[in-house]
Copies of this chain bind each other. A is one copy, B any other.
């Protein structure tokens, strides 16, 4: 974990709501694993007060990219940042997707969940090139399939779905999952609703969810980002997660 002042290198709008921001990493990227997140302070004003957690979308030497959806105060400010502006970053934080011996990797991404899945796929392609990767990617509408060519390049197979049917299958991605092969592992990142549905499916494979909870500290001191476990105790997204074994999690 380090705290750095990072310079914006670029900040592009990719779709109506999705933006990709790239900034200097002061070597933090060397310690980053897929699933890790950064805690970003976007403005020196006290409103908004807290940092914002974001997964890693991509890294390269000296830079990190984050894919974000503009939804509120913090991301509203983020989208107006220009090249040369400074942001204040703490990271890497959180755990990472555990990589086992399975030959087949199924990645299920909903919405901005695609961000950490992108980094995961790239990571696996680089470090475990023989594994077969199937990406199941659901969005609301066609325009949210950003950087499609790149995803086609790094995945072996992609299943698309949109809620409005504008591209791929019409409906939720959880309705169009492939028949999973043996010797597989599933990684999923997306809205709670999606994870909830996945969890209820009779899937007999190791399955890991990356979850999103409201955070204050991001390092385990505030106890704000609690997630309920099956045994009714709580774990904490920022230190025990964000990636959890789906078996552990309780959805009510």
Contact = CB atoms under 8 A, between A and B. Distances in A.
A53 to B, nearest CB: 20
A7 interface: no
A46 interface: yes
A45 interface: yes
A10 interface: no
A86 to B, nearest CB: 11
Interface residues on chain A, size class: under 10
Among A47, A48, A82, max chain B CB count under 10 A is at: A47
The interface residues of chain A, by DSSP majority, are classed as loop
Contacts of A75: none
The number of times this chain is found in the oligomer is 2
Contacts of A43: 45
A77 B44 CA distance: 10
Contacts of A73: 45
A10 to B, nearest CB: 16
A77 B77 CA distance: 13
Interface in A19-48: 43, 45-48
Contacts of A46: 47
A73 B44 CA distance: 9
Contacts of A77: 45
A229 to B, nearest CB: 37
A82 B43 CA distance: 16
A174 B47 CA distance: 42
A22 B246 CA distance: 57
Contacts of A48: 45
9 contacts: A43-B45, A45-B45, A45-B47, A45-B48, A45-B73, A45-B77, A46-B47, A47-B47, A82-B82
Interface of A: 43, 45-48, 73, 77, 82
Given A47-B47, A82-B82, 7 more contacts: A43-B45, A45-B45, A45-B47, A45-B48, A45-B73, A45-B77, A46-B47
* Shortest Cβ-Cβ A-B pairs, 7 listed: A47-B47, A46-B47, A45-B45, A45-B47, A82-B82, A43-B45, A45-B48
